[in-house]
Structure 1
Amino acid sequence: MENLNALRVFVRVAETRSFTLAAKRLGLTSSAVSKAITRLEQELGVRLLQRTTRSVGLTNDGASFFEHCLQILAQIEDAENLLGQATSRPHGRLRVHLPVGFGRRVIMPMMPRFLYQHPEIVLDAELSDRSVDLAYEGIDIAVQIGEPADARLIARRLCHLRFMACASAEYLAQHGEPRTPDDLDKHHCLAYVQMHTGRYRDWPFSQNGKARPKAVSGRLNVNNAESLLEAAAAGLGIAMISNFIAADAIRGGRLRPVLTDYVGEGPPVSVVYLPSRNLSPKVRAFANFLIEEISGNPDWDKITP
């Protein structure tokens, strides 16, 4: 094989399933990426990719080769990190995945401080609520809500979320305030709809340490927490909202918490990354930064239900 660049090009194409996206990430032209893959396939004597006019996929040989390439490139990065670990400052491109709401409300406002502290890092952040495979997609580090499903990942706890039922003062003046979760049957509830299943997310109440989930739905159901907040603030009903999203609206008087005796601890939030004998300085720096900034008693968790 001529050089390792061909492996890096192949890995980017396999991760993105696109010559165009791979070219953008590598700073190359699509033509150069296509030629590099063709040369690699000719050198190996096997077809690695299935190409159609709409997509690019891995062949069976390509999938096997991709897994080996990931291991090879990871070992090379480990070796580079080991050599320079004592004196190396965090540097290079850092690919991060963040959940939309938590990423936009909590993490992105912190990024100017992180980048100021680490001027040699270039950060590529994707905000989405999809499930990601860090190894397959080449993502360095991610923030996840809930227990990590991938047992391979190193997970470092940042905090726990709490969910609060909230409504505007105008709505409560008109319709009254519910005293128990069962009272919600008489109210307009604004549910979070899970579009891939069509189901509404249960509201996670708790009493005396025991979970008491409540099924709700109403005339307006949305798959976005920010939109639920705005609908509740506009007086359309009661919404169940994460504390980090609701905090500013509660402080500003746009929303009032209700059913506060039934608030329980929500899912954990963790920063996760793949295990490595010699963790990349940029990954370690980002994880340590988030832990220092968020762990303990974050500002948005000081709202008393």
Structure 2
Amino acid sequence: MSSILDLEVFVRTADSGSISAAARSLELTPAAASIALKRLETRLGMRLLARSTRSMRLTEEGRRYLDSVRVALAALAEGEQALKQQSQGLSGVLQLAAPSDFGRNLLLPWLDDFKREHPHIRLQLLLNDRHSDLFRETVDVALRFGVPSDSSLVALPILPRHHRLACASPEYLARHGTPQTPAELSEHSALVYLRNGRPYNSWHFSRDGEVQEVQVRGDYLSDDGEVARRWALAGHGIAYKAWLDVASDIRAGRLVPLLGDWQGESVPLNLLCPHRLQVSERVKVLQGFLQARCQLLAG
């Protein structure tokens, strides 16, 4: 097992590109830092850093190993922090990414309550509909709808049984009529979501084992889920939204759910984490908190 010091020397050398700089940051001599690196490489049986008289760079093995070392050191630091501040309750930074629509309309007020319950937590919130690369970006966890495309991610369930639905404003339906079957959606103006620059215009519905796929079209397209919701509220067309995103609008009568006996595609809500070691106590408490809020809304 490598020592923590050896791992810290490796990370700081990789970040700074200099053994001398890494040594200064750890209050070591350059010779001691160099020995720590050699000791780590000897134990692993491979070169982590390619060195020359003028430069230093990560090898391919070093680049892959660096991600794992960062995770391990972060987990150790968090464990120490938790022990030191146990009497104060949860503390530290919680970095969270979330979809724009869900984030603005539900998550923001929920996080206000979460912060009141855990005042020593520092929140960093990233709102967008782009799926963050959890292995590269400074995000601990991400709230995402749907089944994770990357099987290496750890998925912590928030609302497993959750679906999309077609909906529109009463004003739109008064002007254009109410579709009774999925096929009739092709005759209406759809509010199309852009996913990675491509229109998500294939909507799926199921009923009693029957599945229908409908190709829709419309004059309003956006890569922001909140924009699609606002267009629906303004009466510009029919949206295909996650139920959580429009639950409040439906209950207030601002939007009307369509095709009552047809169910939209399944989009379970999960907290995604890049590694099991990063499922910290903060993340576990946040998971339980969000489960309770979503179930309350669903009930």
TM band (smaller chain): 0.7 to 0.9
- Alpha-carbon spacing, 1:227–1:77, altered in 2? closer, same or farther (3 Å): same
1:175 counterpart = 2:176:
yes
- Alpha-carbon spacing, 1:9–1:104, altered in 2? closer, same or farther (3 Å): farther
- Alpha-carbon spacing, 1:292–1:244, altered in 2? closer, same or farther (3 Å): closer
- Alpha-carbon spacing, 1:233–1:71, altered in 2? closer, same or farther (3 Å): closer
SS at match of 2:90: coil
Task: Give unpaired runs (5+ residues) of structure 1.
Answer: 14-33, 49-56
Q: Which residue of 2 aligns with 1:227?
A: 227
Say if 1:47 and 1:62, in contact at 8 Å, map to a contact too. no
Q: Distance in 1 between matches of 2:19 and 2:254?
A: 56
SS at match of 1:220: strand
Q: 1:204-260: per-residue Cα shift (whole Å, max 9, x none)?
A: 222214332211112222222222222233232222222222233333333222222
Say if 2:85 and 2:91, in contact at 8 Å, map to a contact too. no
Say if 1:163 and 1:263, in contact at 8 Å, map to a contact too. yes
Say if 1:91 and 1:281, in contact at 8 Å, map to a contact too. no
TM (normalized to structure 1)?
0.72
Q: Distance in 2 between matches of 1:259 and 1:183?
A: 10
| Two-structure CA RMSD over aligned residues (Å) | 3.6
TM (normalized to structure 2)?
0.73
Q: Which residue of 1 aligns with 2:186?
A: 185
Q: Which moved more, 1:206-215 or 1:1-10?
A: 1-10
Say if 1:70 and 1:135, in contact at 8 Å, map to a contact too. no
Say if 1:200 and 1:215, in contact at 8 Å, map to a contact too. no
- Alpha-carbon spacing, 1:120–1:67, altered in 2? closer, same or farther (3 Å): same
- Alpha-carbon spacing, 1:186–1:286, altered in 2? closer, same or farther (3 Å): closer
What amino acid does structure 2 have at the position aligned with 1:113? D
Q: Distance in 1 between matches of 2:75 and 2:176?
A: 62
1:267 counterpart = 2:267:
yes
Q: Which residue of 2 aligns with 1:40?
A: 22
Q: Which residue of 2 aligns with 1:144?
A: 144
Q: Distance in 2 between matches of 1:257 and 1:115?
A: 33
SS at match of 1:166: strand
1:235-246 equivalences under 5 Å are: 235-246=235-246
**Aligned-pair identity (%):** 31
- Alpha-carbon spacing, 1:279–1:163, altered in 2? closer, same or farther (3 Å): closer
Q: Which residue of 2 aligns with 1:101?
A: 101
Task: Give unpaired runs (5+ residues) of structure 2.
Answer: 24-29, 38-48, 52-56
Q: Which residue of 2 aligns with 1:76?
A: 76
Q: Which moved more, 1:84-93 or 1:1-10?
A: 1-10
1:117-136 equivalences under 5 Å are: 117-136=117-136
Say if 1:209 and 1:264, in contact at 8 Å, map to a contact too. no
Q: Distance in 2 between matches of 1:201 and 1:139?
A: 30
Which one has a bigger Cα radius of gyration? 2
Residues paired across the two proteins, number: 268
Say if 1:143 and 1:272, in contact at 8 Å, map to a contact too. yes
